[in-house]
């Protein structure tokens, strides 16, 4: 066929196969070697990512410290206001003046602790905020250094975005201070006014109870109701019975008396047909008609703002009869028997036949009248008609007189009570206005921060280790004499919210550090419980505030005759409900990896603007000039070394003291171990390396 040994008829040769195999093997080993080199070089990116996360975590921890400071300041402010507010309520309660005064003092002490802590917080947070750029770089350098081994030596510098923060203000408490001062100035006056109100209210309640018992409260024992039913036969419809003094009032007794006398004036009969009994029955009817007439002038007026009453009291003896209008009324028949003039008790007297005129008791006592031998009528006959029933407890008039006196005492007590209560309410209302202003001030101000790194951090990492390339896949087609040079990586980390299921865990950690083993009672324990509750429920907002005031009020007995304590409680709860305290955002910030461009996007700081400029130049292929780190590294070093002098694993932002127990609780942010000794060298070395690298690297390779 004419085909050679190394070639078939289709052109496939042994040499060709050998060349193909050789090329495949060369490509395989070369690719493996390239992959090995790239993998070795890429390790720096993992270090850069870890360093970026570490740098951003510093700002995240700073924000936790801000939240803790806000929680303490807010809870101190609220605890102070609630203690003084509840103390004012206690001042209005009988026997509560001592506790109220101690609560007012406790509220003042808590406010002083709040103001002292607020000054430390403002100073500490701002000082620490200025150090954050360095601390972010420090944390990144520490993480990078932790990855060193025999073949790698890393240095890193992180730049927070934004690089500079806004000043942090804790805020003054003008309204709180004014309210506390007003409480101190008015506490004694309020307690005195409340005491006078309570005394007057006790007199009011005692008088009303006395009147109630005499009218119908003593049933089935003697009282107006029982006497009207059993002696007078007054119908049930006109003779109601009340079983509670709270539903009874003096007008009930007045209407009962009116019905009783009107009924008896028309239904009174003699117990037998004797002249004496018929005369007595006639005189009683005259008395009852007179009483019914007199009671038409009676009244009871009670509009809540004031009370007035008039219970006419009928005569019970001749001397009192002479002072009445009945004394001069000509009601009694007069006869002339030839021997002289005779006045009779009633027209039916056997000796009164043919009477031709009427006379009065006054005329009878003037003289010229003989005593009728049948009815034996004298001035005392009428004057003493109600003597027994007015002096003995089985008489209606006896209990009526008690009611009349009780109504008079009640009116006098109300006249003493109403001005005293109005004065106390005016004082308390003025304090409530101050409390509302203070709550509005507190609710409207919360500590917030926009620190360096609030958005995230950009981290630059350099591997200073040099040496031969990896040779596990060395082959004749790839050189093994090449050296690995400096490797550089850039990474970014954004701060994102991390919602927590129970954000109070962070807050309650503060209370866990307070020693409450010492026995506490009274106002001290109430104040501590109030503050702990507000701190623990920091994220609950308005609900926590309401729970706090109700928890305090639960320990105060509000029973009292005047009802001033209950009124004050309702006013306090209304003021607290109107505060509108919003819950705190307890979502923690956590770092998440992102491109450096995403971190700096939207930031107007010098670093971010310069970073984007150089990035765009590199993408366009032009030669960037300068370095994004110019002017920043020196600034980072100069702002934070002072803070490191006192740092031992952490920097204390501020320390607060709970005045009730005196415990000192610091709020700190953590730092890497041995930071004081290594911090300067870590950051200074990284800064020096990056500066020299930026100055010497070939421009066309900066953004590879």
Return d(Cα 566, Cα 586) in angstroms, integer.
36
DSSP class of 311 = -
Give the neighbor-by-neighbor strand order of the sheet with 332-336. 357-359, 332-336, 341-343, 369-371
- How far apart, in whole angstroms, are the C-alpha atoms of residue 386 and residue 653? 88
Q: Is the pLDDT of residue 702 over 50?
A: no
Q: Is 248 exposed, middle or buried (0-12, 13-18, 19+ CB in 10 A)?
A: buried
Pairing of strands 369-371, 341-343: parallel
pLDDT band at 674 (very low <50, low <70, confident <90, very high): very low
Name the most confidently modeled range: 286-290, 498-502, 685-689.
286-290
Residues in the chain: 704
For residue 4, the 8-state DSSP code is: -
pLDDT digits (tens, 9 = 90+) for 267-281: 999 989 899 999 999
Beta bridge partners of 665: 656
Weakest-pLDDT range from 200-204, 279-283, 497-501, 598-602: 497-501
Model confidence at 535, pLDDT cuts 50, 70, 90, reads low
Domain ranges of the chain: 14-171+445-701
Q: Which two tokens stand for residue 279?
A: 């005369």
Interacting residues of 164 by C-beta distance below 8 A, sequence separation 6+: 452, 605
Please check the confidence at residue 508 and state whether its pLDDT lies above 70: no
Q: How far is CA 38 from CA 34, 480, 606, 700, in A?
A: 6, 15, 34, 20
pLDDT at 480 over 80: no
- Highest mean pLDDT (candidates 175-179, 359-363, 666-670): 359-363
Cα–Cα distances (Å) from 547 to 109, 417, 508, 540, 583, in that order, read 22, 33, 17, 10, 14
Residues 6+ apart with CB under 8 A from 503: 539, 586, 587, 588
pLDDT digits (tens, 9 = 90+) for 310-335: 999 999 999 999 999 999 999 999 99
Q: What confidence score (pLDDT) does residue 474 get?
A: 55
Mean pLDDT of 208-229: 95
How confident is the model at residue 294, as a pLDDT? 95
Which tens digits make up the pLDDT trace of 369-413? 999 999 999 999 999 998 989 999 999 999 999 999 999 999 999
Q: Out of 221-230, 491-500, 624-633, which region has the weakest mean confidence (pLDDT)?
A: 624-633
Tens-digit pLDDT profile for residues 23-57: 776 676 566 556 555 566 667 888 888 988 988 88
Q: Is the pLDDT of residue 488 over 50?
A: yes
The answer, yes or no, to whether residue 699 has pLDDT greater than 50, is: no
- At residue 701, the pLDDT reads 41
* Alpha-carbon gap, residue 150 to 537, rounded angstroms: 52
Q: Residue 120 phi/psi, 5° resolution?
A: -65, -40
Q: What is the pLDDT of residue 112?
A: 82
619 has pLDDT over 70:
no
Q: What is the mean pLDDT of the chain?
A: 78
pLDDT recorded at residue 208: 95
- Higher pLDDT pick, 556 / 343: 343
Phi, psi of 579 (to 5 degrees): -65, -35
Report the pLDDT value the prediction gives residue 627, as an integer from 0 to 100. Answer: 52
pLDDT of 618 > 90? The answer is no
Give the CA distances from residue 398 to residues 214, 310, 354, 385, in Å, rounded to whole numbers and listed in that order: 9, 17, 39, 13
For the cut 70, the answer to whether the pLDDT of residue 604 exceeds it is yes
| Residue 527: pLDDT band with limits 50, 70, 90 | low
- Residue listed under structure tokens 């790239």: 38
Answer yes or no: is pLDDT of 569 > 80. Answer: yes
Mean pLDDT across 421-439: 88
Structure-model confidence comparison of residues 555 and 367, the more confident one: 367
Residue among 250, 255, 260 at smallest CA distance from 291:
260
- Per-range mean pLDDT, top range of 345-349, 472-476, 545-549, 666-670: 345-349
| Contact yes or no for 629/635 (Cβ under 8 A) | no
Task: Work out the pLDDT band at 686, boundaries 50, 70, 90.
Answer: low
How many CB atoms are closer than 10 A to CB 70?
19
The token pair that represents 518 in the structure block: 């010492």
More confidently predicted of 33 and 106: 106
Q: Give CA 205 to chain center in angstroms.
A: 34
Confidence grade of residue 176 (pLDDT, cut at 50, 70, 90): confident
Q: How far apart are CA 151 and CA 464, in angstroms?
A: 10
pTM reported for the whole predicted model: 0.68
Mean pLDDT throughout 622-645? 50
Residue in the block written with tokens 């029955």: 281
């Amino acid at each position: 066929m004419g085909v050679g040994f190394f070639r078939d008829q289709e052109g496939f040769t042994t040499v060709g196969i050998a060349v193909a195999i050789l090329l495949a093997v060369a490509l395989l080993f070369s690719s493996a070697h390239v992959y090995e080199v790239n993998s070795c070089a890429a390790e720096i990116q993992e270090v850069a990512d870890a360093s970026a996360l570490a740098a951003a975590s510093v700002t995240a921890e700073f924000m936790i410290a801000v939240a803790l400071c806000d929680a303490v300041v807010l809870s101190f402010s609220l605890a102070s206001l609630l203690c003084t507010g509840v103390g004012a309520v206690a001042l209005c309660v009988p026997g509560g003046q001592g506790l109220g005064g101690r609560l007012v003092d406790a509220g003042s002490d808590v406010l002083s602790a709040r103001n002292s802590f607020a000054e430390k917080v403002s100073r500490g947070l701002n000082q620490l905020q200025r150090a954050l750029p360095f601390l972010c770089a420090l944390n990144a350098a520490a993480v990078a250094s932790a990855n060193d081994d025999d073949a790698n030596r890393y240095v890193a510098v992180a730049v927070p975005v934004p690089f500079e923060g806004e000043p942090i203000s804790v805020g003054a408490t003008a309204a709180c201070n004014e309210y506390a001062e007003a409480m101190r100035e008015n506490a004694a006056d309020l307690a005195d006014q409340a005491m006078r109100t309570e005394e007057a209210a006790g007199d009011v309640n005692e008088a009303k109870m006395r009147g109630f018992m005499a009218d119908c409260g003593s049933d089935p024992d003697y009282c107006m109701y029982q006497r009207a039913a059993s002696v007078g036969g007054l119908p049930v419809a006109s003779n109601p019975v009340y079983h509670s003094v709270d539903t009874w009032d003096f007008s009930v007794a007045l209407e009962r008396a009116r019905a009783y006398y009107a009924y008896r004036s028309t239904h009174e009969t003699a117990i037998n047909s004797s002249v004496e009994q018929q005369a007595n029955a006639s005189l009683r009817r005259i008395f009852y008609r007179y009483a019914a007439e007199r009671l038409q002038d009676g009244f009871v007026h009670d509009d809540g703002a004031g009370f007035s009453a008039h219970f006419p009291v009928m005569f019970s003896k001749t001397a009192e009869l002479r002072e009445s209008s009945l004394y001069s009324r000509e009601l009694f028949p007069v006869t002339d028997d030839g021997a002289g003039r005779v006045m009779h008790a009633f027209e039916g007297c056997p000796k009164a036949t043919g009477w031709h005129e009427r006379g009065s008791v006054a005329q009878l006592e003037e003289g010229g009248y003989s005593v009728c031998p049948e009815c034996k009528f004298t001035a005392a006959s009428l004057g003493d008609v109600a003597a027994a029933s007015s002096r003995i407890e089985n008489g209606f008039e006896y209990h009526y007189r008690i009611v009349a006196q009780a109504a008079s005492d009640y009116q006098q007590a109300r006249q003493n009570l109403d001005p005293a209560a109005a004065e106390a309410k005016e004082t308390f209302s003025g304090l409530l206005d101050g409390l509302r202003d203070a709550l509005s001030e507190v609710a409207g101000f919360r500590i917030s921060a926009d620190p360096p790194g609030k958005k995230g951090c950009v981290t630059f990492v350099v591997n200073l280790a040099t040496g031969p390339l990896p040779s596990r896949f060395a082959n004749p087609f790839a050189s093994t004499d090449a050296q690995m040079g400096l490797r550089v990586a850039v990474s970014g980390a954004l701060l994102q919210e991390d919602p927590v299921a129970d954000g109070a865990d962070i807050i309650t950690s503060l209370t866990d550090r307070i020693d409450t083993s010492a026995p506490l009672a009274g106002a001290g324990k109430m104040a501590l419980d109030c503050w702990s509750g507000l701190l623990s429920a920091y994220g609950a907002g308005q609900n926590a505030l309401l729970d706090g005031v109700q928890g305090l009020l639960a320990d105060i007995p509000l029973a009292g005759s005047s009802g001033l304590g209950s009124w004050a409680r309702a006013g306090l709860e209304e003021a607290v409900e109107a505060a509108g305290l919003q819950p705190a955002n307890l979502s923690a910030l956590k770092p998440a990896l992102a491109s450096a461009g995403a971190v700096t996007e939207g930031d107007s700081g010098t670093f971010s603007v310069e970073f984007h400029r150089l990035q765009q130049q590199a993408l366009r292929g032009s030669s960037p000039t300068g370095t994004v780190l110019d002017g920043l590294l020196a600034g980072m070093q100069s702002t934070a070394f002072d803070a490191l002098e006192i740092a031992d694993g952490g920097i204390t932002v501020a320390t607060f003291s709970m005045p009730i127990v005196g415990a000192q609780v610091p709020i700190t942010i953590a730092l890497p171990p041995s930071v004081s000794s290594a911090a300067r060298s870590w950051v200074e070395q990284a800064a020096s390396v990056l500066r020299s690298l930026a100055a010497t690297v070939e421009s066309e390779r900066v953004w590879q």
